[in-house]
Structure 1
Amino acid sequence: MKSFMPLTRKIQVALFAAVVVLAATGCKGFLDTNRQGAYTEDNYPYPGGSGPYDQFIFGAYNELRSFNLHSQSFITATSIRSDDADKGSTPTDGGTNAITMDNFPVAASNGFCNTLWLGNYTLITRCNSTIKEINTNTSIIASNEVKQQTLGEARFLRAYAYFNLVRFFGRVPLIDTLFSDPAAQNNVAQSTAAQIYAFIENDLTFAASVLPLSWDSRFVGRATKGAANGLLAKVYLTQQKWASAMAAANSVMISGQYDLSTPYDRIFREEGENSKESVFEVQATATAAIPSNNGVQYAQIQGIRGAGIWDLGWGWNTPSDQLVAAYEPNDPRKARTILFTSTSTTPGLTIYGETTPVGLPNPRYNNKVYSNPSLRTSIGNRFGYWMNVRLLRYADVVLMYAEAANEVGGAANTTAALAALNSVRARARQGAPAGTLPDVTTTDQALLREAIRKERRVELAMEHDRFFDLVRWGIAQDVLQAAGKTNFSNSRDVLLPIPQTQIDLSAGKLTQNPGY
């Protein structure tokens, strides 16, 4: 779906986007050359692993780029709520919705909560629609393998949405079908978190059994066996199912599809997209003719808030003082994660050697979303809509394996945990002075646990995991209050409130979370 050239990137709208458009417009164009819309394996023009159900599943993939799913509310709820980031921008920007997400408590009327709810349930509806087409549309003839593979994609994406929802809200309605009357969806009662997790595990286990290890290059970004097992590892880890998490992560590690060969500096550049580090990421693209409609607003929301050529975004999600202090001496990941801006005495340099102006609203910005200036010129847009969103990286899987192995315990598992942890540190110290990020050697379970937690923080900083890690480790209140978020309370703020809008639509069928 993407093509690259040295220094200049030609970002093209390829088959992925084309089929989404075709599906949204009633499949006009070359699909109409087939008789009555009834496609068979012989007459459907699908190359390299695609199939007759792509016109439906691509609608679900397209939803990953929506503003409601992976932009303002997502960044705020996953990163700004943590101790790694502050809202940034100006003090009043975003109003009460943003300010309370940063400093707690969040009101049930907070619009960001409702956006998160809508974004994830829209993705679920797209997936359920695809599943219905596969199971009931008799005008499409396809092999069982193609059907199962597409079901795997739909159930992977559905599981991802429910994993978001259960971590955000806890008890949520479990909807696995389409309603003839869409309004009836508002009257589904909440399932327990345990029921939601069981459903997610079932979807991901199925997906892992039927999805391919990889796709034809024309379909990069589609869900794979590794993506399903990697997400399943995180689902198990969240529930402290250590042995299951270890096994799921290990299946990714031994698949031969991923490694840590991509330099840390390269992972987050445009040319680092879909590398051997990538397990699953949202695909975005842009051209001069279509600068934003096939992209995602993720980078713009976090871009430098300045003037002229430095008007790169909203300036949200700025690295915190606590994150700055979390790195070991000379860790190259610090500079690649945090863009320090210029002061009157110290120049701030971007990864492309530009000097930032003095007087920007914030002293730091998220360097992992800093876009290539030559692409801004060629596309005619400063806001980085073309930048992919990394949802699951291989280093994350390796560190999940390390954490789970350490918790399972035993000499062999401790050795395995150390090897996994140190492989991430070895990649990180490339190019650094001798002695930087030495191997961890402790075999004490508690000390190794702390080392793995610290490594997760700096390796995955600003990447959507920190708040959820603090919650599942049971240390959120202590850590967040120490970081100045003194309104945070474990009895309330580990979950967001059920949106009042949704409670009202349900006529009281939905009930509020404790403390709100």
Structure 2
Amino acid sequence: MKISGNIQKNYPAVFMLIAVVTALAACKKGFLDRDPQGRYTSDTYPYPQGSSPFDQYVFAAYGALRSYNVSATPFIAAVSIRSDDADKGSTPGDGGADAQDMDNFPVSPSNGMANGLWTGYFDLINKCNIVMDQVANNEEITASDEIKRQSLAEARFIRAYGYFMLVRLFGRVPLIDTVTGTSANIPQSAPGVIYPFIEKDLQYAAANLPLSWDARFVGRATQGAANGLLAKVYLTEKKWGMAMDAADLVIQSGQYDLSTPYDRIFGEDGENTRESVFEIQATADATTPTDYGIQYASVQGVRGTGSWDLGWGWNTPSTRLLYAYEDGDPREARTVLFTSTPGHPGLTIYGEVTPLGLPNPRYNNKVYTNPAMRNEVGNRGGYWMNVRVLRYADVLLMYAEAANEAGNTAAALEKLEMVRARARGDDANILPEITTTDQHQLRQIIRHERRVELAMEHERFFDLVRWGVAADTLHAAGKNNFSGSRDNLLPVPQAQIDLSKGELTQNPETRTS
């Protein structure tokens, strides 16, 4: 039953926040059956059993994951368009210098997207610090130690994700573990300080989060999410044994598998399956088509007119990416949407024929929305699409990479084959099993597998940097302005340096204009 609107109005605004964010982050969303947002139900008032009285603050942190700067255009530009897997797309002048520089380098300290990333992730981190402050100091909330640890664990997982993004994007960043609302006037800490801080947050989260949540709380962080992200942190630091151990905790948990077919993972009905380790949750309906969603799919949607006006058309798969796929690899078709040319109709995964004359020959097929959902919501923007942050296949490939670097080629081959076998399906004529035990050869094969399995999924640029091959790879892709000593990291936004009155300093070799 629904709690009446009048009852809602009699409670403080803070409980209204619980209603909104609980519906956002806690309710499992059916494909065509969604609860209207912002209403209490008998299951969610004032907060559900197994949840926490601190949820009003925890859900604010989850909500910040959906923000434009954290999960839409600046994010897509930094993690994908900067790589060799994608081009900016859209029309040549769309996005101006900010977008073009993300694609072709160098990125200026005045770049608005870089500033958006900085402010977006520090806002996310501050919301996590608010949770910790409330758990420690709010004497009006009564909760068991277990519930307090669970709330802290969720906040520390999200904070770790925020800092992991920041350190990979900018290198030296302020380390803030108290409520401030700003990063100004706090000096930067070196990555050698930031990474141990991230590790501790994730270790705490892994120790205090549940293996899984009730279906009402789908999308909340789990032990698997914490250990999976920790594996990626260790992999970035080249701590091979620790990366294997963290990834193995996810594998041995029994919570995840590759039973979801590859062509289903990225559709609306593929959200939160056993492939999913962590997704940022989004939803929409006819009443609220954007408020509780994410602009992620809209930025990348087909850029056309009329019923084909599905988005901005950014982040289009590159020609280089097409050449990366082995013959017959079915993952290419689920990653790349080819548009129609004379005599060659381009079909969507739902059988629609794309029109002639679209601005780009290809679009990201992993964000293509179901036309039935567009009709139900009455909106073509795709704000209901979740963002896949960590998939089980990624965990297996991280294990394989770490195992190979540690000299355990047998374990590496086993995990690699699991990923290729799912992609291969019943077709024994494609994607043959890899058998080489030569470490160098296997290293290149695993790197290739990461590229095609995770194409257009936020990993490629960071992978190139941590492998030390960004400059050679991007130059080969025609991005000749790229300089590793300058462009592996984004510049510290000049706007933030100005606000800090010089407390923040610029990254070396970054242009000042």
Q: TM-score range by the shorter chain?
A: over 0.9
Matches within 5 A, 1:130-145: 130-145=131-146
After superposition, give the CA deviation of every residue in 1:5-63 in whole Å (9 maximum; x if it has no partner).
5xxx123346xx668xxxxxxxxx999xxxxxxxxxxx984334211111110000011
Match of 2:379 in 1: 381
Paired position in structure 1 for 2:398: 400
Partner of 2:50: 49
1:510 aligns with 2:504: yes
Counterpart AA for 2:254: G
Q: Deviations over 1:164-183 (max 9, x none)?
A: 0000000000000014xx56
Q: Which residue of 2 aligns with 1:500?
A: 494
Partner SS state of residue 246, structure 2: helix
1:13 and 1:294 in contact (8 A); partners too = no
- With the length of structure 2 as denominator, give the TM-score of the two structures: 0.92
Q: Can you list the C-alpha shifts for 1:293-337, whole angstroms capped at 9, x where unaligned? A: 010000000000001100000000000000000000110000000
Match of residue 4 from structure 1: 30
Contact 1:44 1:52 in 2 (8 A): no
Does structure 1 retain, via aligned residues, the 8 Å contact 2:29–2:283?
A: no
- SS of equivalent to 1:325: helix
The separation in 2 between residues aligned to 1:76 and 1:403, in whole angstroms, is 26
Does residue 443 of structure 1 match 2:437? yes
Matched, 1:297 2:295: yes
Output the CA distance in 2 between the equivalents of 1:443 and 1:11: 50
2:17 aligned partner: none
Confirm or deny: 8 A CA contact 1:48 1:218 kept in the other structure: no
The residue type equivalent to 2:447 in the other structure is R
- Structure 2: which 5+ runs fail to align? 1-26
Alignment of 1:243-254 (within 5 A): 243-254=241-252
CA distances 1:154-194 after superposition (whole Å, capped 9, x unpaired): 00000000000000000000000014xx56x4110000011
What secondary structure, in the 3-state scheme, does the structure 2 residue paired with 1:329 have? coil
Q: Output one character per residue of 1:63-95: Cα deviation in whole Å (capped at 9) or x when no partner.
A: 111111100000000000000000000001000
Taking the TM superposition and a 5 Å limit, the aligned residue runs for 1:278-289 are 278-289=276-287
CA distance in 1, matches of 2:119, 2:296: 17
Uncovered stretches (5+) of structure 1, i.e. residues with no partner: 20-28, 32-42
> 1:12–1:286: 8 Å Cα contact kept in structure 2?
no
Q: Which among 315, 334, 337 is matched to residue 336 of structure 1? A: 334
**How far off its partner does 1:137 sit?**
0.6
Equivalent residue in structure 2 for 1:474, among 468, 471, 483: 468
The alpha carbon displacement at 1:429 in A equals 1.0
Q: Which residue of 1 aligns with 2:261?
A: 263
Question: For the residues of structure 1 that align with 2:279 and 2:233, how far apart are their CA atoms?
Answer: 17
Code of the aligned partner of 2:478 = G
Secondary structure at the residue paired with 2:363? strand
Give matches, 1:207-222, under 5 Å: 207-222=205-220
Please say if 1:429 is aligned against 2:413: no
User: What amino acid is aligned across from residue 251 of structure 1 in structure 2?
Assistant: L
* Equivalent-residue separation in structure 1 for 2:204 and 2:109 (angstroms): 35
Offset of residue 460 of structure 1: 0.2
Residue in 2 that maps onto 1:22? none
Contact 2:394–2:450 at 8 Å: present in 1 too?
A: yes
Distance 1:270 1:30, change over 3 A: closer
Partner of residue 69, structure 1: 70
Kept in 1: contact 2:28–2:215 (CA 8 A): no
State whether structure 2 residue 115 is matched by structure 1 residue 114: yes
State the partner residue of 2:409.
Answer: 414
What is the letter of the counterpart of residue 133 of structure 2?
K
Q: Residue in 2 aligned with 1:24?
A: none
Matching residue's letter, 1:505: L
Q: 1:422 to 1:119 in 2, by over 3 A?
A: same
What letter matches 2:30 in structure 1? F
Runs of 4 or more off by more than 6 Å in structure 1? Answer: none
The 1-side partners of 2:39 and 2:278 are apart by 21
Q: Which amino acid counterpart does residue 158 of structure 2 have in structure 1?
A: L
d(CA) in 2 for partners of 1:341 and 1:201?
A: 44
CA separation in 1, counterparts of 2:325 and 2:297? 24
- Equivalent residue number for residue 35 of structure 1: none
What's the secondary structure of 1:231's corresponding residue? helix
2:245, 2:209 → 1: CA distance?
18
Return the letter of the residue paired with 1:127.
C
TM-superposed CA distance for 1:4, in Å, is 2.3
Partner in structure 1 of residue 10 of structure 2 = none
The CA RMSD measured in Å over matched residues stands at: 1.6
Q: Deviations over 1:243-272 (max 9, x none)?
A: 110100000000000000000011001011
Q: Retained in 2: the 8 A contact 1:245–1:404? A: yes
- Give me the whole-angstrom Cα distance separating, in 2, the residues matched to 1:349 and 1:456: 26
TM-score normalised over the length of structure 1: 0.92
